[in-house]
Structure 1
Amino acid sequence: MDERVAAAAYAAAWAAVGRAPEGAGRAVFRRLADRSWRTRDEGTRGLERNLRRLVGPQATDAQLRALSRAGMRSYMRYFYEMFRLSAMPPERILGDTRASGTETLEKAIADGRGAVVALPHMGNWDHAGAWITLRGIPLTTVAQRVRPESLYRRFTAHRESLGMEVLPLTGGSANTVAALARRLRGGGLVCLLADRDINGTGVEVELFGETARVPTGPAALAMNTGAALLPVSLWYDGPRWNIRIHDEVPVADGARRSERIRRTTQDLVRVFEGAIAEHPEDWHMLQPFFERDFEEDRARRARRETAAALEALGTADRAGVRAG
């Protein structure tokens, strides 16, 4: 989609969803999810490719398709609620949330230790951020830069309106990692999505029996600052939001810094693995995620490039013959 068209579409959605009756708005986004699922667009195919790792080869295609339909509906529910969140009354956000493990987070903050909350792309992470700030705990997070810049600013302003401090993942005027460390050393809360290696600097871990690459930021920040590393999982239960703050993942021992970070990250991902397996329909991973998929994609590109080069060579040879 053209960047300007995308920016205009998001702006229109933010304006329309806030005004429309909630029942009608949810129905529209549910239909959008079902249309994507029926046509098996790129996002649906990507989701099914990832979900296949969860359900295994023993699951039938029909079972996988039913799961991906629920997954697309959950994914579009996230977008609907993201657009509407700033219009939701605080009592709705607080009252319809079921949370467990909050005492672990609150103790880390009260003790001045700080906490790194690491989340997979599950449920509604924007809602979770709004919920914790409404409980009186400010948070800092990072945002991936998207284009055009106006759309990035809109996403940032939206999250800031919910009480979050948002730092750029890349391209900011200040050192984001240093800023996050300062917040933690001051006893603050840092929340990071931690199951996609967006900038290509992550480590390989095992997830659902396969190799994937995930970011090391949460583990590194916990190791550098002494903050508690807390996995959090999110899922839907009818009209309610669910938040589970899991037990702290201790930083692994070891002589080498890189190995400590890798092992801590693997321990973190093991918690994600269990949480995703319990609520697979709420894992919003539509992009390539497992290394095998990246390798197959690279192999396909190489075959296409080789075929194109051979075709060009054959065309040149035929032209040479005609000229001779």
Structure 2
Amino acid sequence: MSAFTDRLTDGLYGAGWAGVKKLPEPAAAALGRRIAEVAWKRRGKSVLRLESNLARVVPDASPERLRALSRAGMHSYMRYWMESFRLPTWSPERIRERIRIEGEENLREGLDAGRGVIVALPHLANWDLAGAWVTSCVGVPFTTVAERLKPESLFDRFVAYRESLGMEVLPHSGGAAFGTLARRLRSGGLICLVADRDLSSSGVEVDFFGETARMPAGPALLAQQTGARLLPVTLWYDGPLMRGRIHPPVAVPETGTRQQKTAVMTQATADAFAAGIARHPQDWHMLQRLWDKDLEERSA
């Protein structure tokens, strides 16, 4: 990426955070819809990749159905951005009005036990809004990990944005964050990890919609090492609301090696993700290659 492109990318995101949050909400929503339509009609690489991914989620979908899903998916994705640009200005009351969560008892029971809780989410709906709900409505701070972005100034913007919502943000850099996450859990804390795409070379093979993909081993390993509760969470949009489900805990198998236990737990987490994505495919914002077959084709 050139220095000019770096500055342009950072400037565009900066303008979004500075400008969109000042717009009236109807104007911001209309802007998001317009951008989504333009992006979808251009049929760029991201839209085509989204359709390719959705073809695995809805294998019996016709080409027309896939196009409709990718269109809805781009609108959902831009809704995420418009909400995220405005989220730092929302009051706890506003956040509470916009989100409904099922299975909250699974989270509270884990926190009350004092052994730590790991929340694992896929790229569904608005995970930042879910995080803001945790910090402002449940009243619990948490730690998360962010992928390093280029340019560095853009990564700094994302860190500052999420810290403004009450999150502790650690950079994802070759597993260096693992020790800090373990310490937070041993002190009874909460960590939240977006965990449907592996960013390392140590991902766990899972069956995901009938094909092999790799997902991070971290959530399962942390649960085994610290005794923390592992909770998959899925999210979806429902009109003006965002809804979510905190699934029951993923149990640590009683027998097997650490590697075997990690494989079983990661598969169980992937199954929970798949159930949520299958019900709300238009809200899964996966615009990158995910399955092993696609990654191998890119390498070739």
SS in 1 for 2:95: helix
Residue number in structure 2 paired with 1:230: 231
SS in 2 for 1:147: coil
Q: How many residues align?
A: 296
Pick one of 88, 91, 94 that aligns with 2:93. 91
Give the letter for the 1:282 counterpart.
Answer: D
Residue number in structure 2 paired with 1:148: 151
SS in 2 for 1:196: coil
Distance 1:62 1:148 in 2: 37
Give the Å deviation of 1:171.
7.6
Give the letter for the 1:127 counterpart.
Answer: L
Residues 174, 200 of structure 2: 8 Å contact kept: no
Distance 2:168 2:128 in 1: 12
Distance 1:31 1:121 in 2: 22
Distance 1:138 1:214 in 2: 25
Distance 2:213 2:27 in 1: 39
Residue number in structure 1 paired with 2:133: 131
Residue number in structure 1 paired with 2:52: 49
Q: Which moved more, 1:115-124 or 1:146-155?
A: 146-155
Unaligned runs of 5+ in 1: 300-324
Distance 2:13 2:32 in 1: 13
Distance 1:155 1:211 in 2: 31
Give the letter for the 1:268 counterpart.
Answer: T
Give the letter for the 1:42 counterpart.
Answer: K
Give the letter for the 1:214 counterpart.
Answer: M
Give the letter for the 1:184 counterpart.
Answer: L
1:86-116 Cα deviation digits (max 9, x unpaired):
0122211012211111111111111102110
Distance 2:9 2:295 in 1: 26
Residue number in structure 1 paired with 2:62: 60
Pick one of 106, 110, 113 that aligns with 1:111. 113
Task: Let me know the Cα RMSD of the aligned residues.
Answer: 1.3
Residue number in structure 1 paired with 2:164: 161
Distance 1:52 1:200 in 2: 26
TM-score by length of 2: 0.96
Spell out the pairing of 1:1-324 with structure 2 (5 A cutoff): 2-56=5-59, 58-134=60-136, 135-170=138-173, 175-299=176-300
Give the letter for the 1:50 counterpart.
Answer: N
% identity of equivalent residues = 53
